[in-house]
Amino acid sequence: MMWTPERLQELFGDLRTHGGDRTDVEVKLGTGGCPTVIDTLCAFANLPTGGTIIVGVDEAADFAVVGVHDVATIEQGIASQARNALIPPPHVEFEIAVVDDRQIVVAVVTGLPASDRPCRTKSGGHAYLRQADGDYRMSEQEIAQLISLRDRPRYDSAPVPLTSVADLDPRLVPQFIAEARTGSRRLAEASDDQILRFRAVIAPGTDQLSVAGLYALGTYPQQFIPSLAVTAAVELPDRREGRTRDLADFDGPLPDLLDQAMEWVRRNTGRTMRYGPDGHGMDEDEIPMVAVRELIANALVHRDLGPHTQTKRVEIRIKDDRLVITNPGGLWGITVAQLGTAAGKSSVNEYLYDMSKLIRTPNGKRIIEGEGGGIREARAALRKAGLRTPTFSDASVRFTAVVSRHSLLTSDDLAWLGEVAADAPLSDMQREILVSMRSGQIWTNSLVRDEYAPIDSIAARALLQGLVNAGVADALGDRGSTTYRLAAHLVDDTKQTTPTVDVIAPLFPTDDRQIDLPAVSKNAPAVWDSLDRPGSLAEIAERSGLSHSQTSYALRKLAHLDLVEQVGGRGDRSTEYRRR
């Protein structure tokens, strides 16, 4: 993904609020010329979605933009390092951005396809990955894990030596078999043994339990695979009191792991007062437990079960400002951007996933519903609670979900909203957007869709236009490239903390043509908005809120004008479309 001015604005706000680089972004000072970024280029190349290096920013000075003097030298230097120091060399695209009148270099590193990973340094042959805000050298175990992702994982069906049906939990198995019979006419008359074999609880061709069967239904899975467990800890901000408290290890089958982890999170997070539409306050969980449950269940069910991860557990950490849930392994067949969308249904462990739909925790709830809507529910619950939606990071060898513990709106924000928008019927999303505009953030249709996914282009436009109609925001530009900012009469320079940003080398067409998108076709503006990043026909249709036929027609019109490029063959579901 290339960077727009609005996304760069949001990035700098995020860096200054939370401190430290992000997993997918590295900032460099660059005052002495081109910095050495070989390790970072390598690490980003080994991430499925790549990453971005920004040169001209001083992290030590609260991410102050200091700019660079020789843009060309820095671009050439980074490109040379990517081309000459790494095998295989990753693709790097450059943009020049002007932030508060200072030039910076933005280098976007494309992640290598799974078949080409790992990327290694020519000198030493080392492979690197990102962890938090730094690069680290991968272990041989992690390299093996990365190589294993070239093929479809099937580790959950592998037999576990020395196991048998005698190692299954007598409390869980009858309920599982009953659910299997109820849910399938083919299994309604099958014997218990047949169901355990058909559902791969017993590994194919053996009398031993599969990894999935042991993990989901075993009496004590850790007897055979100790890493099928969860470690949790509260990390203390003041190290004088120690590094952690309430360090806990959870064991037992998957349903018990989920139940214990949920109880631990509830015990170590607080209660808070939230106000409903009627103005009455209610005591609620600090973090909605429906969101916590979904994220922990995902970590347990979709963790890598391969032999190269048998020293790695699912980890839960509660920090001063966030909840962090990490599992071994990454996504399979989808990207982070697709999570929670119609295209975002894919399971790393197919057998375990299907088993989990039939298993209930001790409190009677299914581990997963299996409809692919869990991420959407988690996002909705967090938004309703006034919290940021979870952020996800896929590093191939591990997957991380992060939930903020801080409310999006402060008491000062609420007081200001009461002054400027008391009579406007604004939604929670509109109130959040309006508050960010107060600090100088500029919004676009695509930025709304990124922040509040899943939401289509039509709904995003209505959201922003509602602010304009309420007299609290101004819209600038033509349809298809409209930006939205705080209404001029509400601007308070003392509150404008977000930098002004312009991108000199934008992703959009750079010729001198004036594109009248509505004249191309009625739906061309919505489709163009949705092409802020490449996507398949199905993904673009979902982003735009249009039907497949409407989307396809608009894409053909845009392609005819050489505005859109088709990558792949017609009729191929993997074919992508992107702006030229």
Q: What is the pLDDT of residues 95-130, one digit of tens each?
A: 898 988 889 999 999 999 888 999 999 999 999 998
| Domain 517-579 CATH class label | mainly alpha
Task: Tell me the C-alpha distance between 446 and 455, whole Å.
Answer: 10
Task: Tell me the C-alpha distance between 75 and 71, whole Å.
Answer: 6
Is residue 321 a contact partner of residue 266, using CB atoms and an 8 Å limit? Answer: no
Q: Which stretches of the chain score pLDDT less than 70?
A: 1-2, 18-21, 133, 238-242, 272-283, 343-344, 370-372, 479-480, 493-497, 504-515, 569-574
pLDDT at residue number 162: 97
The DSSP symbol for 176 reads H
Task: Please enumerate, as own/partner, the contacts of 195-201 that have beta carbons within 8 Å and a separation of 24 or more.
Answer: 196/165, 199/351, 199/354, 199/355, 199/358, 200/156, 200/157, 200/351, 200/355, 201/168, 201/176, 201/355
pLDDT at residue number 274: 54
Task: Tell me the C-alpha distance between 539 and 320, whole Å.
Answer: 36
Task: Please enumerate, as own/partner, the contacts of 245-253 that have beta carbons within 8 Å and a separation of 24 or more.
Answer: 251/220, 251/221, 251/222, 252/220, 252/221, 252/222, 253/169, 253/172, 253/215, 253/216, 253/217, 253/218, 253/219, 253/220, 253/221
Question: Which CA distances in Å does 578 have to 460, 461, 482, 528?
Answer: 20, 21, 19, 9
| Domain 230-404 CATH class label | alpha beta
Residue linked to tokens 């006419």 = 185
Alpha helices in 223-318 (DSSP H): 254-268, 289-302
Torsion angle, alpha carbons of 185, 191, 193, 198, to 10: -20
pLDDT at residue number 193: 96
The DSSP symbol for 203 reads P
Task: Tell me the C-alpha distance between 234 and 220, whole Å.
Answer: 26
The DSSP symbol for 494 reads G
How buried is 56 (Cβ within 10 angstroms: 0-12 exposed, 13-18 middle, 19+ buried)? buried
Task: Tell me the C-alpha distance between 571 and 63, whole Å.
Answer: 46
Whether the pTM exceeds 0.85: the reply is: no
Does a cis peptide bond (omega within 30 degrees of 0) precede residue 454? Answer: yes
pLDDT at residue number 513: 43
How buried is 449 (Cβ within 10 angstroms: 0-12 exposed, 13-18 middle, 19+ buried)? buried
**Domain 411-502 is found in CATH 1.10.10.10:** yes
Task: Tell me the C-alpha distance between 289 and 267, whole Å.
Answer: 11
* E-assigned strand segments in 443-518: 473-476, 483-486, 501-503
> Which H or E element spans position 402?
strand 398-404
Q: Rounded to the nearest 5 degrees, what angle is found at the Cα of 346, between the Cα atoms of 341 and 352?
A: 135
Task: Tell me the C-alpha distance between 524 and 438, whole Å.
Answer: 31
Task: Tell me the C-alpha distance between 142 and 134, whole Å.
Answer: 17
Same fold, 5-138 and 230-404: no
> Which H or E element spans position 212?
helix 211-217
Domain 5-138 superfamily per CATH: Schlafen, AAA domain (3.30.950.30)
The full set of domain ranges for the chain reads 5-138, 155-223, 230-404, 411-502, 517-579
Q: Identify the sign of the CA torsion 113, 114, 120, 125.
A: negative
pLDDT at residue number 272: 67
Is residue 164 a contact partner of residue 207, using CB atoms and an 8 Å limit? Answer: yes
Is residue 527 a contact partner of residue 563, using CB atoms and an 8 Å limit? Answer: no
Task: Tell me the C-alpha distance between 120 and 88, whole Å.
Answer: 7
What average pLDDT is seen over the chain?
86
